[in-house]
Structure 1
Amino acid sequence: MMELHKKSYEPLKWTVALLGLMILLGGCESGYGRQPAPAPLPEVSTVTIKPQPVELTTELPGRTSAYLVAEIRPQVNGIIKQRLFKEGSDVQAGQVLYQIDPAPFQVALDSSRASLSKAQANLPSIRLKAERHKELLVDKAVSRQDYDDAVAAEDQARAEVAYWQAQVTGARINLGYTRVTAPISGRIGKSSVTDGALVTAYQPTSLATIQQLDPIYVDVTQSSAELLRLKRHLETGRLSADGANGRKVHILLEDGTAYPLEGLLQFRDITVDQATGSFILRIVVPNSKHLLLPGMFVRAVVQEGIAEQALLVPQQGVSRNPKGEPIALIVDEAGKVQQRLLTLDRAIGDKWLISSGLKAGERLIVEGMMNVRPSATVIAVPWKNAQAGQAASPANRPLAESR
């Protein structure tokens, strides 16, 4: 009976073994015991750094001032008889602005002329008398004293004629001063006097002011330290002077818009202000439409020089470490990520000008750098936006764009 019982369990044992084998095979097919597949390499977008010539400029604050300024003052005393200009209008050099009452000056001129005529009428008889005394002196018909008195009288008569000639000239000049004229062409402001006002010669208060606005001056300030830095860069070759366009200046208005006409750098002052450590640069700007008025605040974009081998990189490819230092990630020849510590010069449009930290030919990561770390192996592809236009200002831009 034991043998019969043992035989009845034999098929069950083989069934259990077969089921276990099937479970084991099913587990292998579902992944148990198999090595996981390696993760794909991260992909980053890079741009190859290439040197290029860049025109470097700096923005300096300043104010406008009139090219010529003339304060109108009377040169004789009198009553203003008439004002002959419209306030705020353009006047020409020599144009009559005020008429001072000429009557007393006309009387003085007529009186001087009459006295001159009288002196001139007396001169011939006195001269003839002196000549006769000279002839009589030879025959000793007159004394030497009489002859000397006749010569002195002639000299006195000539001097009197010269005196009254000068008086006539002075009276004529004073009469001309009653017509107050414009010494320069320009725009005249408001008048400080009206008809009937009493004015005195060379009074401290001006009658009006004329300002020539075309062209106009723009006076900007630059620090002496900045000037020394520029000279040092020119001497070391980091910058080269642009002789053809180095004196051209762009003007930005106080609302940020660009002035349509270029100015010309006239000179740099030779004295540094001890209080501010800066000096004045004077720029001459065309102003035919009188858009610029004296006293306006503007910014002048002055050229520093040409950086022949400038390295420009997109700003999105530069980040900062916890210390605030600018850093960048590059892909080396082996396809590994390397970190670089940068020195930035300035922003030019949407790019940074690099002073140190990168070299020409290196591949800078501009997209995907958040997914990689230094020493990681990556797949580098060209940046699709590498040729996209940039919003470069007239201040600093690649040389090809500024010409």
Structure 2
Amino acid sequence: MAKYFTLSSILFVAALVVAGCSDQEKQQAAGGAGAARPPSPVSVVIMKKSVQPLTTILSGRAEAVQSADIRPQIGGVIKEVSFREGGFVKAGDLLYKIDDATYVASVEEAKAALEKAEASVPSAAANVQRYERLANTGATQKDYETAQATLLEAQASVAQARATLQTAKINLAFTEIRAPFDGVTSATNYSIGNLVTAGQADALMTLRKINPIYIKLNESSVNLLRLRAAIAAGNLKNNAGDVDKADIRLTMEDGTEYPSVGKIDMSEMAVSTTTGTVSIRTLFDNPQNLILPGMYVRATITVGEENGFAIPQRAGSRNAEGFLTAKFVNADNKVETRTFASSKLSGNNWLVTDNVKDGDKLIVDGFQWIGDGATVKPIPSEVDAKGLVIQQAPATEAPKS
């Protein structure tokens, strides 16, 4: 059945539609007014000029202070392996024992030969004395000289036999292979029952001394010249005035800081023709054996001090020209980017001396999503030694009396 709408019904529906549209427009207007965003909060640190250390970071690898490939000095069959592979030994500790049966026999044989040689000396000496007494009773000079020669031969035989005995004793001692210094052992390449020879090419094992331990670094010859020139010009406040006496700290492979401070032990007096670097060998105490040969580390060398402003590395970036840039909050609480033509490394900071003054507010967190000219709300903060931002607690007002 067809449906019919009266004029009054149509007017009523139209009135409802108009009322709904009016309410929707009001809600949108109210929402638009509430969408005005407040200033973005950013963490800032207050800049203050102070004396900061100047540092340089180099990569390097650990090397043993002493390393020796242990080889036998006599031949024979290995009878005993007396060390724990990968363990620590003291100087003089037994490492290997070679079967000594034939060397013991050689010592006994040499002793007997020495005794025989010594037994011939008294009779030869007596003949010389007898011919001396008979010199005026018809004994010829030739007989006397022959007796003297016989005595000398007997004495020489004794010396030879004594040397042979000493050699036999040395060879017997070589059947015990002992550690030449304190160190850590490698895996053994030979086991019980293996035959070894004197002076063989293959080492039985390797012994390394790792306390103290060397850290070998490579520094650009250009940077090294710049540092030395700065110290000579008095730009760096270095007590000794010498880069070679600078303190060195290590960062381990897992990012932890090594507890001990090291010193430069030796610098090569030549520049590599292939890399343009100078080899620097540093020395660190390693009582807990935390550093092992071959381990990769990063060394931070303190080369002096300079008066300037410290910009945390997390707050800085580099522009297309390679200059350091950082964002600050100006007096109107608006963001502005500053560029620094000169910057130097100072631990986890960049040290600058221009385009900044005491009291300036450096943005250290929250700047990633804001641009220059944006209004922000600065929140006083500080950056700890690990580069983490810590917001300062707001100052509490004194109670009113």
Structure 2 CA distance for partners of 1:319 and 1:260, relative to 1, 3 Å: closer
Superposition pairs of residues 139-150 of structure 1, within 5 angstroms = 139-150=136-147
AA of the residue aligned to 2:383 = Q
Cα 1:141–1:256 change in 2 (3 A) is same
Unaligned runs of 5+ in 1: 1-44, 373-380, 395-403
SS of structure 2 residue aligned to 1:156: helix
Aligned pairs, how many?
A: 334
Task: Give SS of 2:53's match.
Answer: strand
* Alpha-carbon shift at residue 141 of structure 1 (Å): 2.1
1:194 pairs with 183, 191, 196, which one? 191
C-alpha contact 1:97 1:182 (8 A) present in aligned 2: yes
Comparing 280-289 and 67-76, the one that deviates more: 280-289
Report the Cα distance in structure 1 between the residues aligned to 2:319 and 2:87, rounded to whole angstroms. Answer: 61
Aligned partner of 2:168 in structure 1 is: 171
2:324 touches 2:341 (CA, 8 Å); kept in 1?
yes
Equivalent runs, 1:228-377 vs 2, <5 Å: 228-243=225-240, 246-307=245-306, 309-313=307-311, 342-346=340-344, 348=346, 352-355=350-353, 357-358=354-355, 364=360, 366=362, 370-371=372-373
Map of 1:85 onto structure 2 = 83
Please show how residues 146-165 of structure 1 align to structure 2 within 5 Å: 146-165=143-162
Task: Provide closer, same or farther for how the CA distance between residues 305 and 145 of structure 1 changes in structure 2, counting only shifts above 3 A.
Answer: same
Could you say which structure has the larger radius of gyration?
1
Calculate the TM-score normalised by the size of structure 2.
0.73
1:177-216 aligned at under 5 Å gives the runs 177-216=174-213
Alignment check: 8 A CA contact 2:213 2:285 kept: yes
**Aligned twin of 1:121:** 119
Look up the SS of the partner of 2:165 in the other structure: helix
Q: Distance in 1 between matches of 2:106 and 2:300?
A: 59
| Cross-structure match for 2:222 | 225
Q: Percent identity among equivalent residues?
A: 33
Give the distance between the partners of 2:67 and 2:163, measured in 1 at CA.
33
Change (3 A) 1:264 1:321: closer
Contact kept in structure 2, 1:317 and 1:364, CA below 8 Å: no
1:263-297 CA-partner distances (Å, limit 9, x unpaired): 23222222221111112221222222222211011
Q: Which amino acid aligns with 1:62?
A: G
**Residue identity opposite 2:384 in structure 1:** A
Q: Pick from 55, 58, 62 the counterpart of residue 57 of structure 1.
A: 55
2:74 aligned partner: 76
Distance change in 2, residues 1:344/1:108 (3 Å):
same
Which amino acid is the alignment partner of residue 391 of structure 1? D
Query: Shift of the alpha carbon at 1:223?
Result: 1.0
- Asked if the contact 1:57/1:302 (under 8 Å) is kept, the reply is yes
Q: Is the 8 A contact 2:55 2:347 kept in 1?
A: no
Q: Which runs of 5+ in 2 are unaligned?
A: 1-42, 364-369, 388-401
Q: Residue 81 of structure 2 contacts residue 192 of structure 2 at CA under 8 Å; is this kept in 1?
A: yes
The root-mean-square deviation of aligned C-alpha atoms, in Å, is 3.6
The Cα offsets for residues 168-221 of structure 1, whole Å up to 9 and x where unpaired, read as 000000011111111112111111111111100011101111112222211111
Tell me what 1:110 maps to: 108
Q: Which amino acid aligns with 1:117?
A: E
State the AA in 1 paired with 2:253: E
- Structure 2: how far apart are the matches of 1:320 and 1:283? 31
Post-superposition offset of 1:48: 7.7
Quickly say closer, same or farther: Cα 1:190–1:233, change in 2 above 3 A.
same
- Report the CA distance shift for 1:288/1:161 in structure 2 as closer, same or farther (over 3 A): same
CA contact (8 A) 2:46 2:361 kept: no
1:149 counterpart SS class? helix
Structure 1 residue runs of 4 or more that deviate by more than 6 Å after TM superposition: 45-48, 314-324, 327-333
Deviation at 1:51, TM superposition (A): 3.0
CA, structure 1 residues 141+349, in 2 after alignment: closer, same or farther (shift >3 Å)? closer
TM-score in terms of structure 1 length:
0.73
